[in-house]
Structure 1
């Protein structure tokens, strides 16, 4: 069952998570392009540069999915809402269970400050207490040691290893294993 209300803004002490808006396209393209060398290893969508027009279209579509509750993506900003630090949100939502998967990436210039952990922890809390999710998942490539550490620090328990679950994002075509983490209520 779809929740009656979904917060379009979530504030923590250091961060603002805000629903996507088309006018954020230039900030998104700048952050993605600056981070592509690191993101390409883990994110298939990061292989090609992102121009402002494509980023604006991406956020227009994300805003529509947010409105219909099929995906609840948020942009990660500093507390004042001036610097785009990355993107996160709930993907693979299944309102019948109800459950969702947290995904995230952080601008390369802002990694190592605990933002991903804070975002994952905050979204797990909001997912359970506000959205009524019974299960919040976080998946990462088994080789992505940093993301696995984020999941642990954010309170997600390891549920298993999904062998040969996806193709590698590095362009090699190799099958990769995924770690499945979850918070269950």
Structure 2
């Protein structure tokens, strides 16, 4: 019988210098939806969930689904808040988790009003540390559209290696063209 790796303890909330990261909870959908609506122009080229204007109810359902997946340790989404004001900033987390290796992928998006302040670098840096030092991950990936310069800047600033670019890898989120995917990784 194959030995299955035990899932380590997963923090529901943790802090960085300026940020609080915590798992989604009931009622978070309103703040997340407001941030999505305020950031539609910046997010729409890259993210499938903003191709149509989500209702507050849609976002609340998505947030609750994320809460359940977090509890099951299948997808660890963290909402990002300003530590001082508790204002919602964005979302990040681990997906495509394989606890047996262990490896995982980090994804993220930020509200336009908070973009350019280093918050996402701070949040992803903290997640990278959590993955490497607490979860003992052997591999962490960040995948993003090759044309998404802002998203690519995060792994580049954090010292992730660009392992390659998959050409004509996926359809764009609007379904109109093929896109290239950059794969960044940190391994230990």
Q: 1:30 is paired with a residue of what secondary structure?
A: helix
- What is the RMSD computed on CA atoms of the aligned residues? 1.2
1:94 to 98, 101, 111: 98
Query: What pairs up with 1:66-145 in 2 under 5 angstroms?
Result: 66-80=70-84, 82-145=86-149
Normalised TM-score (structure 1): 0.95
Normalised TM-score (structure 2): 0.94
Contact 1:3 1:132 in 2 (8 A): no
CA distance in 2, matches of 1:111, 1:55: 21
CA distance in 2, matches of 1:27, 1:118: 21
* Structure 2 residue runs without a partner (length 5+): none
Runs of 4+ residues deviating >4 angstroms:
none
How much does 1:117 deviate?
Answer: 1.1
1:157 paired with 2:158, answer no
How much does 1:154 deviate?
Answer: 1.6
How much does 1:53 deviate?
Answer: 1.3
CA distance in 2, matches of 1:153, 1:172: 30
Contact 1:103 1:138 in 2 (8 A): yes
How much does 1:150 deviate?
Answer: 1.1
Tell me the equivalent position of 2:37: 33
CA distance in 1, matches of 2:85, 2:161: 31
* Structure 1 residue runs without a partner (length 5+): none
Aligned length: 184
